[in-house]
Structure 1
Amino acid sequence: MAGQLQRSLTARIETWPVAGSFVIARGAKTHVDVVLVEIAEGGHVGRGEATAIYYHGETAQSVRDQAEAIAGRIAAGIDRAGLLAAMPRGAARNAVDCALWDLEAKRSGTPAWVLAGLDAPAPLQSAFTISLGDPARMEADARAAAPAYPLLKLKLAGEGDIDRVAAVRRGAPAARLIVDANESWTDRDVAAEAARLLPFGVELIEQPVRAGADHLLDRVVSPIPLCADESCQDRGDLPRCAGRYAAINIKLDKAGGLTEALALATEARALGLELMVGCMLSTSLGIAPAILAAQGARWVDIDGPLLLAADREERVRFEQGVAWPPPSSLWG
């Protein structure tokens, strides 16, 4: 691009330990491998972080390789709009896209929210995740978390879910509750399962059925709003979700960056869908741009750094579960 200093891209894998273990219906994790992308130009370095979408077959290695493969286009000056066309959705594009946002903010000295045409980001109440376990364990975890986190998100697995939710409610009688079925209700009566959760004050059910089996919800009238997670990656999935789900969960790693996430939020709202903004396990570098995407969302679940044993020096600050952008960052 004429008049522009040449850019260079590097990508590497970092391993961050989980605090204890993170358990969902698909298995447990004791660490997370994230991919850090850095784009350097004229003394400035933009950084973006991504976590592989494992249920799409991504790995940290494949994400790193995909990010490195776009280095030539980055050096040639491709912009964020061009990146949407040049790379498929997913974690690699997220890391590169967020690095471009960060680089532009640093080069111009202008916060990313101004560049995006947004209002100054407000602090957000985030959910805190209660990992899948037996009822006694989940009750104990909820009791320990509730004083600091007024909104809890429960991981479910199908069999025994009512006992799990009842146990969490005993442990956290005043907390707001949302649940993530992680596709485990595919062969169940979703409306009946949801009705059984009503007495416990559950306000949202994520991904009750398997992605690709969304037609099973065509005649379902759920007393609790249903939210598409695995079933909604980017704007191309909205026609399949509208009319079946009340909300979608936007994650930057799924959507392929902040650029697509902001566009997805706009189009989803136009279709009457409520918004949830979530995350994969990640450090604060991965969460900072998600805070921009989450402005105005009804539910926010960006507790990724809280589930790690350590975080970056420049971090998102959490107070009573409320997330504040890094103070020295141009994201906030």
Structure 2
Amino acid sequence: MRSVRMYREVWPLRTPLFTARGSRNEAEVVVVEMEEDGWRGVGECAPWRRFGESVPSVMAQIASILPHLERRMTREQLQQTLPPGAARNAVDCAFWDLDARRAGQSLAEYVGVQLDSAVENASTLQPDEPPHMAAAARARYNRGARLFRIRLDDRLISERLVAIREAVPEATLMVDASETWHSDGLAARCQLLADLGVALLEQPLSARDDAALENFIHPLPICADESCHTRSSLKALAGRYEAINLKLDKCGGLTEGLALAAAAREQGFELVLGGASCTSRAVSAALPLAPQARYVDLEGPDWLAVDVEPGLRYEGGRILLD
């Protein structure tokens, strides 16, 4: 007998989170619990407003398949029943968690990968005045952070980046423009980033403007985030992007995540492993993909005022797993 339930959770952030699309003070997630033969698996997702998702819409999607899940729908059947997105992610990860626990293994062991005792993780710098961003970068660098994800909108780009680079000359920098830039002037901005030693530029243009990147010569790798969801996205990204940001909430769970990672690497794309505002449950589900990623950006739980128990430990720009 299998029982399945879902519910909403709200987790306050320790400080407001500012993005190119607004700000938030809390992480709102949907949790799926699956119990079968005395074993319990849990999955979590964070709906993406950018893709038209909300907590009610995600819960409605899950509710539509609850009878099938309780009648022993398989993880493979799930892939054909729900589209890629947050709802499928929560259910898919509950399946994986249940199966790993039943096998008496950690999720990474069950997937067949070995995780290091510490995973280097990006530290996010929010859009702010240049001196404030530089001071934040320096303070985190002094506490051990070596990899930074810089959120930028369309203003003070050079001023912010120059200030940050002067503050942390040895750090690895990634820039996330979150679809806020335009094709006019993009070449000059890419050259600025390259001159400052930025390692990666993420989603500079709106996904609908990807054609502008066709045969666009640029001096640093460009990473697709909003433009990449599943393996079916990869064909259109060739010749436009060199990397993809893989997020379980976009691709629909660890099942597609593993397949997407393998296909992307086979086709020559580098991987950034990303996430959302979430608890350690969601990050734990994504960590089996970390060994395949060039950069890991799973900072969600570190922004929370309080996390699930037991939660992951974040320290000095790393996720500690020992």
Say which of 265, 268, 271 aligns to 1:269: 265
Cα RMSD (Å) of the superposition? 1.4
Partner of 1:246 in structure 2? 242
Whether the 8 Å contact between 2:103 and 2:110 is mirrored in structure 1 is no
Distance 1:186 1:56 in 2: 20
Partner of 1:127 in structure 2? 122
Q: CA deviation at 1:127?
A: 0.3
Q: TM-score, normalised by structure 1?
A: 0.93
Q: CA deviation at 1:308?
A: 1.5
Say which of 193, 207, 216 aligns to 1:197: 193
Q: Note the alpha carbon deviations across 1:221-250, whole angstroms, 9 max, x for none.
A: 111100000000111111111211000000
Distance 2:18 2:316 in 1: 23
Q: CA deviation at 1:68?
A: 2.3
Q: TM-score, normalised by structure 2?
A: 0.95
Q: CA deviation at 1:41?
A: 1.2
**Map of 1:1-332 to 2, 5 A cutoff?**
6-116=1-111, 118-122=112-116, 123-148=118-143, 149-325=145-321
4+ residue runs over 4 A deviation: none
> Is the partner of 1:224 in helix, strand or coil?
coil
Q: Note the alpha carbon deviations across 1:239-294, whole angstroms, 9 max, x for none.
A: 11121100000000001100000000000011111111100111110100111122
Whether the 8 Å contact between 2:183 and 2:212 is mirrored in structure 1 is no
Distance 1:138 1:322 in 2: 20
Distance 1:238 1:277 in 2: 16
> Is the partner of 2:18 in helix, strand or coil?
strand
Instruction: Return 5+ residue gaps in structure 2 as ranges.
Output: none
Q: CA deviation at 1:200?
A: 2.0
Instruction: Return 5+ residue gaps in structure 1 as ranges.
Output: 1-5, 328-332
Distance 2:98 2:273 in 1: 24
Distance 2:303 2:222 in 1: 25
> Is the partner of 2:164 in helix, strand or coil?
helix
Q: Note the alpha carbon deviations across 1:138-197, whole angstroms, 9 max, x for none.
A: 122212222231111000112221111112223323221101011112243322211012
> Is the partner of 1:146 in helix, strand or coil?
helix
Distance 1:134 1:63 in 2: 36
User: Partner amino acid for 1:257?
Assistant: G
> Is the partner of 2:165 in helix, strand or coil?
helix
